[in-house]
Chains A and B, each alone.
Chain A
Protein backbone atom coordinates (compact mmCIF):
# COMPACT_ATOMS: atom_id res chain seq x y z
CA UNK A 1 0.00 0.00 0.00
CA UNK A 2 2.26 2.75 -1.21
CA UNK A 3 -0.44 5.11 -2.38
CA UNK A 4 -2.75 5.22 0.51
CA UNK A 5 -5.44 7.44 -0.91
CA UNK A 6 -8.72 7.84 0.88
CA UNK A 7 -11.66 8.15 -1.47
CA UNK A 8 -14.45 10.36 -0.22
CA UNK A 9 -16.67 13.09 -1.49
CA UNK A 10 -15.71 16.71 -1.13
CA UNK A 11 -15.71 18.93 0.86
CA UNK A 12 -12.86 17.42 2.81
CA UNK A 13 -13.26 19.13 6.13
CA UNK A 14 -11.60 17.98 9.29
CA UNK A 15 -13.87 17.01 12.11
CA UNK A 16 -13.35 16.11 15.71
CA UNK A 17 -15.20 12.82 15.19
CA UNK A 18 -13.30 9.56 15.05
CA UNK A 19 -14.21 5.98 14.24
CA UNK A 20 -14.09 5.12 17.94
CA UNK A 21 -16.40 7.92 18.94
CA UNK A 22 -18.99 7.22 16.25
CA UNK A 23 -18.98 3.47 16.80
CA UNK A 24 -19.44 3.74 20.55
CA UNK A 25 -22.16 6.33 20.03
CA UNK A 26 -24.02 3.91 17.75
CA UNK A 27 -23.62 1.22 20.41
CA UNK A 28 -25.07 3.64 22.95
CA UNK A 29 -28.00 4.43 20.68
CA UNK A 30 -28.71 0.71 20.39
CA UNK A 31 -28.79 0.28 24.17
CA UNK A 32 -32.53 0.98 24.62
CA UNK A 33 -33.28 -1.60 21.93
CA UNK A 34 -31.34 -4.23 23.85
CA UNK A 35 -33.07 -3.38 27.10
CA UNK A 36 -36.45 -3.60 25.39
CA UNK A 37 -35.49 -6.93 23.85
CA UNK A 38 -34.50 -8.37 27.20
CA UNK A 39 -37.71 -7.11 28.82
CA UNK A 40 -39.81 -8.58 26.01
CA UNK A 41 -38.09 -11.91 25.60
CA UNK A 42 -36.47 -12.56 28.94
CA UNK A 43 -32.99 -13.51 30.02
CA UNK A 44 -32.21 -15.73 27.05
CA UNK A 45 -32.06 -12.61 24.88
CA UNK A 46 -29.35 -11.24 27.16
CA UNK A 47 -27.32 -14.42 26.69
CA UNK A 48 -27.58 -14.19 22.91
CA UNK A 49 -26.47 -10.55 22.95
CA UNK A 50 -23.58 -11.27 25.30
CA UNK A 51 -22.35 -14.27 23.33
CA UNK A 52 -22.62 -12.37 20.05
CA UNK A 53 -20.51 -9.48 21.31
CA UNK A 54 -17.88 -11.54 23.12
CA UNK A 55 -17.33 -13.92 20.23
CA UNK A 56 -17.16 -11.05 17.73
CA UNK A 57 -14.44 -9.41 19.84
CA UNK A 58 -12.50 -12.66 20.23
CA UNK A 59 -12.72 -13.42 16.49
CA UNK A 60 -11.56 -9.92 15.61
CA UNK A 61 -8.60 -10.14 18.01
CA UNK A 62 -7.48 -13.58 16.84
CA UNK A 63 -7.78 -12.72 13.15
CA UNK A 64 -5.93 -9.45 13.54
CA UNK A 65 -3.10 -11.20 15.35
CA UNK A 66 -3.00 -14.00 12.75
CA UNK A 67 -2.93 -11.58 9.82
CA UNK A 68 -0.40 -9.40 11.65
CA UNK A 69 -2.59 -6.31 11.52
CA UNK A 70 -2.95 -3.73 14.21
CA UNK A 71 -5.26 -5.06 16.90
CA UNK A 72 -8.14 -2.61 17.14
CA UNK A 73 -10.47 -4.27 19.61
CA UNK A 74 -11.54 -1.04 21.23
CA UNK A 75 -12.61 0.91 18.19
CA UNK A 76 -16.08 -0.47 18.79
CA UNK A 77 -16.58 -1.84 15.28
CA UNK A 78 -16.36 -5.52 16.25
CA UNK A 79 -18.47 -4.82 19.32
CA UNK A 80 -21.09 -3.20 17.11
CA UNK A 81 -21.03 -6.05 14.60
CA UNK A 82 -21.59 -8.62 17.36
CA UNK A 83 -24.33 -6.50 18.87
CA UNK A 84 -26.17 -5.99 15.58
CA UNK A 85 -25.86 -9.67 14.71
CA UNK A 86 -27.36 -10.64 18.07
CA UNK A 87 -30.20 -8.18 17.49
CA UNK A 88 -30.89 -10.05 14.26
CA UNK A 89 -31.31 -13.41 15.96
CA UNK A 90 -34.37 -14.94 17.56
CA UNK A 91 -34.21 -14.78 21.37
CA UNK A 92 -33.91 -18.50 22.01
CA UNK A 93 -31.27 -19.95 19.74
CA UNK A 94 -28.73 -22.61 20.69
CA UNK A 95 -25.70 -21.03 22.36
CA UNK A 96 -23.36 -21.81 19.46
CA UNK A 97 -25.44 -19.96 16.88
CA UNK A 98 -24.42 -16.41 17.86
CA UNK A 99 -20.81 -17.62 18.21
CA UNK A 100 -20.68 -19.11 14.71
CA UNK A 101 -22.55 -16.12 13.29
CA UNK A 102 -20.21 -13.58 14.88
CA UNK A 103 -17.17 -15.49 13.70
CA UNK A 104 -18.53 -15.62 10.14
CA UNK A 105 -19.47 -11.93 10.26
CA UNK A 106 -16.00 -10.87 11.39
CA UNK A 107 -13.93 -13.39 9.42
CA UNK A 108 -15.72 -13.64 6.08
CA UNK A 109 -17.76 -10.45 6.30
CA UNK A 110 -14.93 -8.14 7.27
CA UNK A 111 -11.36 -9.35 7.86
CA UNK A 112 -11.07 -11.34 4.61
CA UNK A 113 -11.57 -8.10 2.70
CA UNK A 114 -8.86 -6.36 4.70
CA UNK A 115 -10.63 -5.17 7.83
CA UNK A 116 -12.74 -2.18 8.71
CA UNK A 117 -13.45 0.09 5.75
CA UNK A 118 -12.63 -2.51 3.11
CA UNK A 119 -15.63 -4.78 3.38
CA UNK A 120 -18.24 -4.84 0.62
CA UNK A 121 -21.07 -6.24 2.69
CA UNK A 122 -22.43 -5.27 6.04
CA UNK A 123 -20.70 -7.84 8.30
CA UNK A 124 -23.59 -8.32 10.72
CA UNK A 125 -26.02 -8.96 7.88
CA UNK A 126 -23.58 -11.31 6.16
CA UNK A 127 -23.46 -13.26 9.41
CA UNK A 128 -27.22 -13.31 9.69
CA UNK A 129 -27.76 -14.47 6.12
CA UNK A 130 -25.16 -17.20 6.56
CA UNK A 131 -26.97 -18.46 9.66
CA UNK A 132 -30.31 -18.15 7.90
CA UNK A 133 -29.17 -20.26 4.97
CA UNK A 134 -27.37 -22.77 7.18
CA UNK A 135 -29.72 -23.36 10.08
CA UNK A 136 -33.15 -22.13 8.96
CA UNK A 137 -34.82 -24.19 11.68
CA UNK A 138 -33.23 -22.27 14.53
CA UNK A 139 -33.39 -18.95 12.75
CA UNK A 140 -37.14 -19.05 12.22
CA UNK A 141 -38.27 -20.37 15.59
CA UNK A 142 -39.53 -17.37 17.47
CA UNK A 143 -40.85 -17.20 20.99
CA UNK A 144 -43.97 -15.43 22.05
CA UNK A 145 -43.31 -12.02 23.64
CA UNK A 146 -43.68 -11.41 27.38
CA UNK A 147 -43.88 -15.13 27.94
CA UNK A 148 -40.73 -16.53 29.38
CA UNK A 149 -41.76 -20.17 29.05
CA UNK A 150 -40.57 -20.36 25.47
CA UNK A 151 -43.84 -20.92 23.69
CA UNK A 152 -43.10 -20.59 20.02
CA UNK A 153 -44.99 -18.24 17.80
CA UNK A 154 -44.58 -17.03 14.25
CA UNK A 155 -43.72 -13.46 13.35
CA UNK A 156 -46.59 -11.33 12.04
CA UNK A 157 -45.02 -11.32 8.57
CA UNK A 158 -44.71 -15.11 8.54
CA UNK A 159 -48.35 -15.45 9.52
CA UNK A 160 -49.28 -13.08 6.72
CA UNK A 161 -47.16 -15.02 4.25
CA UNK A 162 -48.90 -18.26 5.08
CA UNK A 163 -52.21 -16.61 4.31
CA UNK A 164 -53.54 -16.86 7.84
CA UNK A 165 -55.40 -13.99 9.43
CA UNK A 166 -53.64 -11.90 12.00
CA UNK A 167 -55.46 -11.98 15.29
CA UNK A 168 -55.50 -9.45 18.05
CA UNK A 169 -52.35 -7.62 17.13
CA UNK A 170 -52.75 -3.89 17.06
CA UNK A 171 -50.44 -1.26 15.63
CA UNK A 172 -49.75 -0.27 19.21
CA UNK A 173 -48.51 -3.81 19.98
CA UNK A 174 -46.26 -3.69 16.95
CA UNK A 175 -44.95 -0.28 17.95
CA UNK A 176 -44.08 -1.37 21.47
CA UNK A 177 -42.76 -4.76 20.40
CA UNK A 178 -45.38 -7.18 21.64
CA UNK A 179 -44.84 -9.66 18.84
CA UNK A 180 -42.65 -12.56 17.82
CA UNK A 181 -39.43 -11.61 16.10
CA UNK A 182 -35.71 -11.08 16.43
CA UNK A 183 -34.36 -9.52 19.63
CA UNK A 184 -33.58 -6.10 18.22
CA UNK A 185 -36.29 -5.63 15.66
CA UNK A 186 -39.47 -5.79 17.70
CA UNK A 187 -39.52 -2.63 19.80
CA UNK A 188 -40.00 0.21 17.33
CA UNK A 189 -40.19 2.79 20.12
CA UNK A 190 -36.68 1.96 21.37
CA UNK A 191 -35.34 1.85 17.83
CA UNK A 192 -36.72 5.30 17.10
CA UNK A 193 -35.19 6.63 20.32
CA UNK A 194 -31.78 5.36 19.23
CA UNK A 195 -32.22 6.66 15.70
CA UNK A 196 -33.19 10.09 17.06
CA UNK A 197 -29.91 10.24 18.97
CA UNK A 198 -27.93 9.45 15.81
CA UNK A 199 -29.86 12.10 13.89
CA UNK A 200 -29.24 14.72 16.55
CA UNK A 201 -25.53 13.96 16.55
CA UNK A 202 -25.55 14.11 12.75
CA UNK A 203 -24.11 10.61 12.35
CA UNK A 204 -26.78 9.49 9.94
CA UNK A 205 -28.69 11.56 7.43
CA UNK A 206 -32.33 11.13 6.53
CA UNK A 207 -31.59 10.10 2.93
CA UNK A 208 -31.28 6.33 3.25
CA UNK A 209 -33.69 5.51 6.10
CA UNK A 210 -36.56 7.73 4.99
CA UNK A 211 -36.47 6.79 1.31
CA UNK A 212 -36.20 3.15 2.35
CA UNK A 213 -39.18 3.24 4.71
CA UNK A 214 -41.21 5.49 2.42
CA UNK A 215 -40.72 3.23 -0.61
CA UNK A 216 -41.63 0.08 1.34
CA UNK A 217 -44.76 1.84 2.64
CA UNK A 218 -45.78 3.06 -0.80
CA UNK A 219 -45.24 -0.25 -2.56
CA UNK A 220 -47.02 -2.32 0.08
CA UNK A 221 -49.91 0.16 -0.01
CA UNK A 222 -50.21 0.13 -3.80
CA UNK A 223 -49.93 -3.63 -4.20
CA UNK A 224 -52.33 -4.65 -1.48
CA UNK A 225 -53.88 -8.08 -1.00
CA UNK A 226 -57.31 -7.00 -2.30
CA UNK A 227 -56.17 -5.14 -5.40
CA UNK A 228 -54.39 -1.86 -5.96
CA UNK A 229 -54.24 0.76 -3.19
CA UNK A 230 -55.57 -1.49 -0.44
CA UNK A 231 -52.37 -2.52 1.31
CA UNK A 232 -51.76 -2.19 5.03
CA UNK A 233 -48.71 0.03 4.75
CA UNK A 234 -48.43 0.84 8.43
CA UNK A 235 -48.33 -2.85 9.30
CA UNK A 236 -45.53 -3.44 6.82
CA UNK A 237 -43.50 -0.57 8.18
CA UNK A 238 -43.92 -1.59 11.81
CA UNK A 239 -43.34 -5.32 11.38
CA UNK A 240 -40.25 -7.23 10.43
CA UNK A 241 -36.80 -5.72 10.67
CA UNK A 242 -37.47 -2.69 8.52
CA UNK A 243 -36.87 0.01 11.15
CA UNK A 244 -33.75 -1.70 12.52
CA UNK A 245 -32.42 -2.25 9.01
CA UNK A 246 -33.23 1.20 7.70
CA UNK A 247 -31.72 3.21 10.54
CA UNK A 248 -28.87 1.06 11.76
CA UNK A 249 -27.73 -1.24 8.98
CA UNK A 250 -28.49 0.40 5.64
CA UNK A 251 -26.73 3.52 6.95
CA UNK A 252 -23.43 1.75 7.62
CA UNK A 253 -20.75 4.17 6.37
CA UNK A 254 -18.57 1.55 4.74
CA UNK A 255 -21.17 -0.25 2.69
CA UNK A 256 -23.52 2.54 1.61
CA UNK A 257 -22.99 5.23 -1.04
CA UNK A 258 -21.08 8.38 -0.19
CA UNK A 259 -23.10 10.96 -2.10
CA UNK A 260 -26.55 12.21 -1.15
CA UNK A 261 -27.93 11.33 -4.57
CA UNK A 262 -26.45 7.86 -4.29
CA UNK A 263 -27.98 7.42 -0.86
CA UNK A 264 -31.42 8.21 -2.26
CA UNK A 265 -30.95 5.54 -4.95
CA UNK A 266 -29.67 3.12 -2.31
CA UNK A 267 -32.69 3.69 -0.07
CA UNK A 268 -35.11 3.31 -2.97
CA UNK A 269 -33.42 0.12 -4.12
CA UNK A 270 -33.54 -1.36 -0.62
CA UNK A 271 -37.22 -0.48 -0.35
CA UNK A 272 -38.07 -1.92 -3.74
CA UNK A 273 -36.27 -5.20 -3.03
CA UNK A 274 -37.73 -5.53 0.46
CA UNK A 275 -41.27 -4.97 -0.81
CA UNK A 276 -40.80 -7.40 -3.71
CA UNK A 277 -39.49 -10.13 -1.38
CA UNK A 278 -42.25 -9.54 1.17
CA UNK A 279 -45.08 -9.41 -1.35
CA UNK A 280 -44.05 -11.97 -3.94
CA UNK A 281 -40.92 -13.72 -2.65
CA UNK A 282 -40.51 -17.03 -0.89
CA UNK A 283 -39.42 -15.55 2.43
CA UNK A 284 -41.71 -13.59 4.74
CA UNK A 285 -39.02 -10.96 5.33
CA UNK A 286 -36.49 -9.44 2.97
CA UNK A 287 -34.76 -6.56 4.76
CA UNK A 288 -31.40 -8.28 5.20
CA UNK A 289 -31.29 -9.57 1.63
CA UNK A 290 -32.35 -6.21 0.24
CA UNK A 291 -29.62 -4.36 2.11
CA UNK A 292 -26.95 -6.91 1.14
CA UNK A 293 -27.92 -6.72 -2.53
CA UNK A 294 -27.75 -2.95 -2.46
CA UNK A 295 -24.38 -3.20 -0.67
CA UNK A 296 -23.15 -5.04 -3.74
CA UNK A 297 -24.47 -2.23 -5.93
CA UNK A 298 -22.86 0.52 -3.83
CA UNK A 299 -19.58 0.87 -5.80
CA UNK A 300 -21.44 1.36 -9.07
CA UNK A 301 -23.88 3.82 -7.49
CA UNK A 302 -20.92 5.79 -6.19
CA UNK A 303 -19.32 5.82 -9.59
CA UNK A 304 -22.36 7.27 -11.35
CA UNK A 305 -23.36 9.79 -8.71
CA UNK A 306 -20.03 11.51 -8.25
CA UNK A 307 -20.51 15.16 -7.41
CA UNK A 308 -19.83 17.71 -10.12
CA UNK A 309 -16.46 19.30 -9.60
CA UNK A 310 -16.98 22.96 -8.81
CA UNK A 311 -16.49 25.14 -11.85
CA UNK A 312 -16.98 22.42 -14.46
CA UNK A 313 -20.01 21.60 -16.52
Chain B
Protein backbone atom coordinates (compact mmCIF):
# COMPACT_ATOMS: atom_id res chain seq x y z
CA UNK B 1 0.00 0.00 0.00
CA UNK B 2 2.74 2.41 0.98
CA UNK B 3 4.37 1.88 -2.39
CA UNK B 4 1.20 2.86 -4.24
CA UNK B 5 0.93 6.03 -2.23
CA UNK B 6 4.51 6.83 -3.20
CA UNK B 7 3.73 6.32 -6.88
CA UNK B 8 0.73 8.55 -6.49
CA UNK B 9 2.45 11.37 -4.63
CA UNK B 10 5.44 11.50 -6.91
CA UNK B 11 3.51 13.19 -9.72
CA UNK B 12 2.15 15.85 -7.43
CA UNK B 13 5.28 17.26 -5.87
CA UNK B 14 8.60 15.60 -6.62
CA UNK B 15 7.99 15.17 -10.34
CA UNK B 16 5.25 17.68 -10.95
CA UNK B 17 4.69 17.67 -14.72
CA UNK B 18 4.51 21.44 -15.05
CA UNK B 19 6.93 22.78 -12.48
CA UNK B 20 9.53 20.02 -12.33
CA UNK B 21 9.38 18.05 -15.58
CA UNK B 22 8.24 21.17 -17.49
CA UNK B 23 6.12 19.07 -19.84
CA UNK B 24 2.86 19.97 -21.51
CA UNK B 25 3.45 23.71 -21.41
CA UNK B 26 1.49 24.37 -24.60
CA UNK B 27 -2.00 23.76 -23.12
CA UNK B 28 -0.87 25.24 -19.81
CA UNK B 29 0.08 28.51 -21.48
CA UNK B 30 -2.96 28.59 -23.72
CA UNK B 31 -5.92 27.67 -21.54
CA UNK B 32 -4.90 29.03 -18.14
CA UNK B 33 -6.81 32.27 -18.70
CA UNK B 34 -9.58 31.34 -16.29
CA UNK B 35 -10.06 28.92 -13.43
CA UNK B 36 -12.93 27.16 -15.20
CA UNK B 37 -10.70 26.45 -18.19
CA UNK B 38 -7.96 25.22 -15.88
CA UNK B 39 -10.28 22.78 -14.11
CA UNK B 40 -11.70 21.51 -17.41
CA UNK B 41 -8.33 20.98 -19.00
CA UNK B 42 -6.97 19.37 -15.83
CA UNK B 43 -9.81 16.84 -15.60
CA UNK B 44 -9.62 16.04 -19.31
CA UNK B 45 -5.88 15.46 -19.20
CA UNK B 46 -6.15 13.40 -16.00
CA UNK B 47 -8.75 11.14 -17.60
CA UNK B 48 -6.62 10.63 -20.70
CA UNK B 49 -3.51 9.97 -18.61
CA UNK B 50 -5.29 7.43 -16.44
CA UNK B 51 -6.84 5.57 -19.37
CA UNK B 52 -3.77 5.52 -21.55
CA UNK B 53 -1.47 4.53 -18.69
CA UNK B 54 -3.66 1.55 -17.76
CA UNK B 55 -4.18 0.31 -21.32
CA UNK B 56 -0.56 0.76 -22.31
CA UNK B 57 0.55 -1.06 -19.21
CA UNK B 58 -1.84 -3.91 -20.08
CA UNK B 59 -0.58 -4.28 -23.65
CA UNK B 60 3.08 -3.62 -22.88
CA UNK B 61 4.08 -7.26 -23.41
CA UNK B 62 2.43 -7.63 -26.83
CA UNK B 63 3.53 -4.43 -28.52
CA UNK B 64 6.65 -4.88 -30.66
CA UNK B 65 9.47 -2.57 -29.68
CA UNK B 66 9.73 -0.93 -33.12
CA UNK B 67 6.17 0.29 -33.48
CA UNK B 68 5.45 1.10 -29.85
CA UNK B 69 5.06 4.86 -30.35
CA UNK B 70 2.30 4.58 -33.03
CA UNK B 71 0.53 2.05 -30.81
CA UNK B 72 0.67 4.39 -27.82
CA UNK B 73 -0.59 7.27 -29.94
CA UNK B 74 -3.59 5.20 -31.11
CA UNK B 75 -4.47 4.40 -27.49
CA UNK B 76 -4.05 8.01 -26.40
CA UNK B 77 -6.02 9.33 -29.37
CA UNK B 78 -8.89 6.99 -28.51
CA UNK B 79 -9.15 8.41 -25.02
CA UNK B 80 -8.84 11.96 -26.28
CA UNK B 81 -11.68 11.34 -28.73
CA UNK B 82 -13.85 9.97 -25.91
CA UNK B 83 -13.03 13.02 -23.79
CA UNK B 84 -13.81 15.40 -26.61
CA UNK B 85 -17.14 13.78 -27.45
CA UNK B 86 -18.21 13.67 -23.81
CA UNK B 87 -17.20 17.29 -23.33
CA UNK B 88 -19.08 18.33 -26.46
CA UNK B 89 -22.19 16.49 -25.29
CA UNK B 90 -22.32 17.60 -21.67
CA UNK B 91 -20.40 20.88 -21.56
CA UNK B 92 -20.38 22.59 -24.94
CA UNK B 93 -19.44 25.94 -23.40
CA UNK B 94 -16.27 24.52 -21.87
CA UNK B 95 -15.50 22.76 -25.13
CA UNK B 96 -15.76 26.05 -26.98
CA UNK B 97 -13.55 27.79 -24.43
CA UNK B 98 -10.83 25.15 -24.64
CA UNK B 99 -11.18 24.89 -28.41
CA UNK B 100 -8.36 23.18 -30.26
CA UNK B 101 -6.55 22.35 -27.03
CA UNK B 102 -8.86 19.41 -26.26
CA UNK B 103 -7.88 17.40 -29.37
CA UNK B 104 -4.32 18.57 -28.84
CA UNK B 105 -4.11 16.54 -25.62
CA UNK B 106 -3.05 13.74 -28.01
CA UNK B 107 0.32 15.41 -28.39
CA UNK B 108 0.56 16.57 -24.79
CA UNK B 109 4.07 15.60 -23.76
CA UNK B 110 3.00 14.42 -20.32
CA UNK B 111 0.70 11.72 -21.69
CA UNK B 112 3.15 10.21 -24.16
CA UNK B 113 5.99 10.88 -21.75
CA UNK B 114 4.38 8.80 -18.98
CA UNK B 115 3.42 6.08 -21.45
CA UNK B 116 6.94 5.76 -22.78
CA UNK B 117 8.88 6.35 -19.58
CA UNK B 118 6.64 4.60 -17.08
CA UNK B 119 3.54 2.70 -18.15
CA UNK B 120 5.36 0.62 -20.76
CA UNK B 121 7.59 -0.78 -18.02
CA UNK B 122 5.35 -0.98 -14.95
CA UNK B 123 2.47 -3.03 -13.63
CA UNK B 124 -1.12 -1.99 -14.20
CA UNK B 125 -1.77 -0.83 -10.63
CA UNK B 126 1.44 1.16 -10.48
CA UNK B 127 0.64 2.76 -13.84
CA UNK B 128 -2.82 3.64 -12.60
CA UNK B 129 -1.40 5.35 -9.52
CA UNK B 130 1.23 7.11 -11.59
CA UNK B 131 -1.35 8.38 -14.09
CA UNK B 132 -3.61 9.59 -11.30
CA UNK B 133 -0.74 11.35 -9.51
CA UNK B 134 0.57 12.97 -12.66
CA UNK B 135 -2.92 14.04 -13.69
CA UNK B 136 -3.64 15.60 -10.32
CA UNK B 137 -0.22 17.24 -10.28
CA UNK B 138 -0.93 18.75 -13.70
CA UNK B 139 -4.40 19.86 -12.59
CA UNK B 140 -3.07 21.50 -9.43
CA UNK B 141 -0.43 23.38 -11.40
CA UNK B 142 -3.08 24.52 -13.87
CA UNK B 143 -5.34 25.61 -11.02
CA UNK B 144 -2.57 27.67 -9.44
CA UNK B 145 -1.61 29.36 -12.71
CA UNK B 146 -5.15 30.00 -13.89
CA UNK B 147 -6.28 31.29 -10.50
CA UNK B 148 -3.43 33.82 -10.46
CA UNK B 149 -4.10 34.84 -14.05
CA UNK B 150 -7.86 35.11 -13.71
CA UNK B 151 -7.67 37.02 -10.44
CA UNK B 152 -4.99 39.52 -11.47
CA UNK B 153 -5.85 39.63 -15.16
CA UNK B 154 -9.63 39.88 -14.99
CA UNK B 155 -10.36 40.54 -11.30
CA UNK B 156 -12.51 37.43 -11.13
CA UNK B 157 -12.44 33.87 -9.82
CA UNK B 158 -14.62 31.25 -11.54
CA UNK B 159 -16.26 34.10 -13.43
CA UNK B 160 -17.32 35.97 -10.29
CA UNK B 161 -16.03 39.42 -9.40
CA UNK B 162 -14.01 39.09 -6.19
CA UNK B 163 -13.09 42.60 -5.13
CA UNK B 164 -15.13 45.53 -6.34
CA UNK B 165 -13.20 48.46 -7.73
CA UNK B 166 -10.11 46.37 -8.43
CA UNK B 167 -8.57 47.39 -11.75
CA UNK B 168 -7.21 44.17 -13.27
CA UNK B 169 -3.91 44.04 -15.14
CA UNK B 170 -4.99 42.97 -18.62
CA UNK B 171 -1.53 41.78 -19.54
CA UNK B 172 -1.87 38.70 -17.35
CA UNK B 173 -4.79 37.52 -19.45
CA UNK B 174 -2.65 37.74 -22.56
CA UNK B 175 -0.05 35.19 -23.73
CA UNK B 176 2.80 37.32 -22.42
CA UNK B 177 1.15 37.20 -19.00
CA UNK B 178 1.02 33.40 -19.14
CA UNK B 179 4.76 33.23 -19.84
CA UNK B 180 5.44 35.71 -17.07
CA UNK B 181 3.38 33.86 -14.45
CA UNK B 182 4.72 30.41 -15.36
CA UNK B 183 8.29 31.69 -15.46
CA UNK B 184 8.01 33.29 -12.04
CA UNK B 185 6.33 30.21 -10.52
CA UNK B 186 9.00 27.93 -12.01
CA UNK B 187 11.68 30.11 -10.50
CA UNK B 188 9.90 30.16 -7.18
CA UNK B 189 9.56 26.36 -6.98
CA UNK B 190 13.17 25.90 -8.02
CA UNK B 191 14.16 28.26 -5.24
CA UNK B 192 12.15 26.22 -2.72
CA UNK B 193 13.78 23.00 -3.92
CA UNK B 194 17.22 24.56 -3.66
CA UNK B 195 16.55 25.78 -0.13
CA UNK B 196 15.41 22.28 0.88
CA UNK B 197 18.44 20.58 -0.59
Cβ of A133 within 8 Å of any chain B Cβ, yes or no, is yes
**Complex: A130 Cα to B174 Cα, angstroms:** 12
Q: Which of A130, A133, A134, A135 has the most chain B CB atoms closer than 10 A to its own CB? A: A134
User: By the criterion CB–CB under 8 Å, are B172 and A134 in contact?
Assistant: yes
User: By the criterion CB–CB under 8 Å, are A134 and B171 in contact?
Assistant: yes
Partner of B169, one of A94, A108, A112, A134: A134
**Complex: A265 Cα to B184 Cα, angstroms:** 32
Cβ of B167 within 8 Å of any chain A Cβ, yes or no, is yes
Cβ of A225 within 8 Å of any chain B Cβ, yes or no, is no
**Complex: A136 Cα to B173 Cα, angstroms:** 14
User: By the criterion CB–CB under 8 Å, are A134 and B170 in contact?
Assistant: yes
Cβ of B82 within 8 Å of any chain A Cβ, yes or no, is no
User: By the criterion CB–CB under 8 Å, are B180 and A135 in contact?
Assistant: no
Main secondary structure of the interface of A (DSSP, over half): helix
Cβ of B99 within 8 Å of any chain A Cβ, yes or no, is no
B136 CB → nearest A CB, Å? 30
Report how many residues on chain B are interfacial, defined by Cβ distance under 8 Å: 11
Q: Which of A94, A108, A133 has the most chain B CB atoms closer than 10 A to its own CB? A: A133
User: By the criterion CB–CB under 8 Å, are A108 and B187 in contact?
Assistant: no
B23 CB → nearest A CB, Å? 24
Partner of B170, one of A100, A108, A112, A133: A133
Cβ of B176 within 8 Å of any chain A Cβ, yes or no, is yes
Residue of B nearest to A138 (CB): B167
User: By the criterion CB–CB under 8 Å, are B171 and A130 in contact?
Assistant: yes
User: By the criterion CB–CB under 8 Å, are A136 and B170 in contact?
Assistant: yes
Partner of A133, one of B167, B171, B184, B187: B171
Asked, given contacts A108-B180, A112-B187, whether A135 binds B174 with beta carbons under 8 Å apart, the answer is: no
Chain B residues close to A by CB (< 8 Å)? 167-172, 174, 176, 180, 184, 187
**6 CB-based A-B contacts, threshold 8 Å:** A100-B169, A108-B180, A112-B187, A130-B169, A130-B171, A135-B170
Q: Told that A133-B176, A135-B169, A135-B170 touch, could you supply 19 new A-B pairs with CB distance under 8 A?
A: A94-B167, A100-B169, A108-B180, A108-B184, A112-B184, A112-B187, A130-B169, A130-B171, A133-B170, A133-B171, A133-B174, A134-B168, A134-B169, A134-B170, A134-B171, A134-B172, A135-B167, A136-B170, A138-B167
